Amino acid sequence: MQTHEIRKRFLEHFERNGHTVVPSASLILDDPNLLFVNAGMVQFKPYFLGEAPPPYKRATSIQKCVRTGDIENVGLTTRHNTFFQMAGNFSFGDYFKEGAIELAWELVTKSQDEGGYGFSPDRIWVTVYQDDDEAIALWKKIAGLPEERIQRRGGDDNYWDMGVPGPGGPCSEIYYDRGPEYGRDGGPVVDEDRYLEIWNLVFMQDERGELSPKKGHPPIGELPTKNIDTGMGMERVAYLLQGVDNVYETDLVRPVIARAEELTGRRYGVNPEDDVRFRVIADHARSGVMLVGDGVTPGNEARGYVLRRLLRRIVRSARLLGTSEPVLGTFAEVVRDAMGPAYPELATDFERIHRVVTAEENTFLQTLSTGTRIFDVAVAETKSAGRSLLTGDKAFQLHDTYGFPIDLTLEMAAEQGLAVDEDGFRKLMAEQRARAKADAAARKTGHGDRTVYRELLEQGATEFTGYQELASEATVRGLVREGQRIRSAGEGEIVELVLDRTPLYAESGGQESDAGTITSPNAELEVLDVQKVARKLWVHQVRVRSGEIAEGQHVIAQVDPEWRVGARQAHSGTHVVHAALREVLGPSALQSGSYNKPGYLRLDFAWTSALSAETRSEIEEVSNLAVRRDLPVRVVHASLPEAQRMGALALFGETYDETVRVVEIGGPWSRELCGGTHVDHSSQIGPVMLLGESSVGSGVRRLEAYVGIEAFRHLARERALVQNIAGMLKVPNEELPGRIESLVERLRAAEKELERLRAAQLLSNVGGLADAAEDVRGTALVATALPDGVGGNDLRQVATEVRNRLGGRPGVVALFSADPAAGKVNFVVATTPAAREAGLAAGKLVPSFAAEVGGRGGGKPDMAQGGGTNPAGVPGAIVALRAALEGTAGA
């Protein structure tokens, strides 16, 4: 049974049983606890936590997931994957244990002719939480399972939570017995290779605190409702139903290995080391393409770093298999073709995906070239020292600084007849991971006590009236200070305020929250910020300017009209610039983030190279032509699938409700999912003026622009600046470029002449410096400070000339130049041939005095240079150098 058929049967089974089919969320969600979505329940967390009322009682989904905690194990085993699809069914206060077990058992064991998976009931085993007698009784009643095929396990195996305060509960796992040829008798508690877990049913009923029930600590309470969260591994079910031994041989993964075989000329299943590399390629290719598809770009931090690591492991594995050709583009094509039927956006967005992965491969190939040179130096140093072991810190430096994979270091070292201190390398890697883990733990906030918001949500969602009006009558539903409900707040206090209805826009979709006021007969409040809680509750942060505000009072919430005008212009301007960008660069130039406030916008988009001045001008012109055409702005409400069929663009990482808001500017010219406030016609945006374009990471560029009155003001400032410069130079505006170019050329010529004169002046003192050399135990020492601000090149030139004047005698020249304003000092040390014959090397003399100037340096025996941060230490450095020579000269 093909994987797409397994997927289809799962969704149809639960849809027939009253579940709403919910599309997979993006792999990137705004969750402080998650780098990527790693479970099917993540998009439903607000419903499980009681932060928002669920729009349905039953749901089912096939969620794309990425787990990166065991990247190093991928390929070494046939069980570890970074990307996988989690099929799940969910109940929000509807059915519980009995319903979950019935639905799972029916799908797993029903014959394939009847739409099930057709697993033999005699080969099914289950595990339950250690004291869950109810689940045991239900498995016996519903499935007729005998006692010996139901096994109890502790919290580590059969209790589920998110690893942070929040929902949790006991679970029951379904296993399939693959047969005695795969391992020992005795069920899952004995052998989880033979008995393969395919489905986990979580009976979500508890709220855990800081300490997890998985470790025996009691829950802190019960959830408001009992819920069901299940997860069935699509890949595991696929390889069982397809009669293969592991996920890498299933229909959606094996094609990547087949393409790797074509490229490398090697065969999977012949050599165990090669098999590991084939599996790494197959797994990481899927993960990489899915991540890029959801808007991640390679980088050096967080998600971008994980993606970069995955893609580079593919390139490295392919090279170890023997190919030197570019590979990421062709592997991406295979993944697109395999996964496209389930995720059609991979095909429609493939141009961008292909561009991102091929750019990263090109970057990595340059890194490999640099790393190889560093590796060659390390090998030469190791051999010259008579060692046969490349140190762990050198291997770590290659890995951490130059992105050089350790297995490539190992293989190349072996070719040179060297071993690598792997223990030292692993220790340094462990220390780095520990630091990263501690940093992640510090940022991990969990889901603390949100009871105050749950209570307010139980009274209903906030009605947002801001699309229709700027002022609304409302009732104060609640006041919150430091997480606690309060009855009232007085003058000068800053509190959170929840209304039953509000015209004030809450920050979202890149748009800043509205400015405004909330007034009552007894109080006046300034609105500082507006945020959404659980996408349903508008929480206003306010400062009480005067009077007292109390729960239950009637108020008027008012948006600052000038603020809203600018905000509408900026948000609609963002859509216009995005559409113009796609018109000029092509449909693959997709927005990957935005921010706008009155009069200003910035837009991040996936692109791998800087835009030329001509391209920027074209984007600006297309934007302003759209403004001049006075395009109508229309809002359409539709289901998410309907909006996608309309071609509406969604922002990476955003979560959308079942019914979405589509904003059109000029019909299909600009059509995006958006909850922001917008103008009625494009002409109301006013002029659009691009300020610049820059890089904000690998494969991501940023455009910034002013719109409306801010664009006029910027142009006025620019005009005044041009007029002032024209006045100073006494030329008409149109002649400014030529006059400025002429002045720049004259300035450059003057700078060159000054540089020549300064160098001549420095060199004119060479004879005097050489004549003033002092004798230190038979060595001529010239150690002095030159005038402030002399650069390294000039220092080297003077040092060379002085050294030449010393003739055939042993001599050391040390010249210093301070820059007190910058807190820096430069130095150069040079030695004569006779000094080097006597054992005096410039590079080895630097450490004797460098600490005095707070710096370091190095070089060759004849010339060394460096710098420091303590200009006042130059006299001490000269003394230290003299003392070093007194201890070594003539020895």
| Longest Cα–Cα distance in the chain | 106
Measuring CA to CA, which residue among 410, 405, 430, 434 is closest to residue 420? 410
CA distance 152 to 169: 15
CA distance 834 to 779: 9
For residues 357, 358, 364, 370, the Cα torsion angle rounded to the nearest 10 degrees is -160
For residues 44, 47, 51, 52, the Cα torsion angle rounded to the nearest 10 degrees is 100
Sequential DSSP letters for 651-710 = -TT----SEEEEEEETGGGEEEE--S---SBGGGG--EEEEEEEEEETTEEEEEEEEHHH
CA distance 53 to 72: 40
CB 812 within 8 Å of CB 840: yes
Element (H, E) at 527: strand 523-533
Adjacency order of strands within the sheet including 855-859: 774-776, 779-785, 811-819, 824-831, 863-868, 855-859
CB 157 within 8 Å of CB 199: no
With a CB cutoff of 8 Å and minimum separation 6, the contacts of 380 are: none
| AA letter at 476 | V
CA distance 848 to 173: 68
With a CB cutoff of 8 Å and minimum separation 6, the contacts of 511 are: 505, 567, 570, 571, 596, 597, 676, 677
CB 589 within 8 Å of CB 581: yes
Output the CA–CA distances (angstroms, integers) from residue 757 to 745, 752, 760, in the order listed.
18, 9, 5
**Parallel, antiparallel, or unpaired for β 484-486 and 471-481?**
antiparallel
- Tokens for 514? 């509205």
Burial class (CB in 10 A: 0-12, 13-18, 19+), 721: exposed
CB 107 within 8 Å of CB 142: no
Q: Is 541 left (phi over 0), alpha (psi -120 to 50) or beta?
A: beta
Instruction: Using the Cα atoms of residue 580, residue 584, residue 587 and residue 591 in order, give the sign of their dihedral.
Output: negative
SS3 of residue 466 by DSSP: coil
Output the CA–CA distances (angstroms, integers) from residue 471 to 147, 349, 502, 545, 704, in the order listed.
66, 42, 8, 19, 31
Q: Is 674 annotated as a binding residue?
A: yes
CA distance 828 to 850: 11
Q: Is 171 annotated as a binding residue?
A: no
> CB neighbours (10 Å) of residue 753?
10
CB 328 within 8 Å of CB 311: yes
Element (H, E) at 104: helix 97-109
Q: Is 4 annotated as a binding residue?
A: no
- For 633, phi then psi, to 5°, come to -110, 125
CA distance 116 to 212: 36
Q: Is 575 annotated as a binding residue?
A: yes
CA distance 614 to 539: 45
Measuring CA to CA, which residue among 605, 702, 698 is closest to residue 360? 698
Instruction: Using the Cα atoms of residue 43, residue 47, residue 50 and residue 53 in order, give the sign of their dihedral.
Output: positive
CB 627 within 8 Å of CB 685: yes
The binding site for Zn(2+) comprises 571, 575, 674, 678
The binding site comprises 571, 575, 674, 678
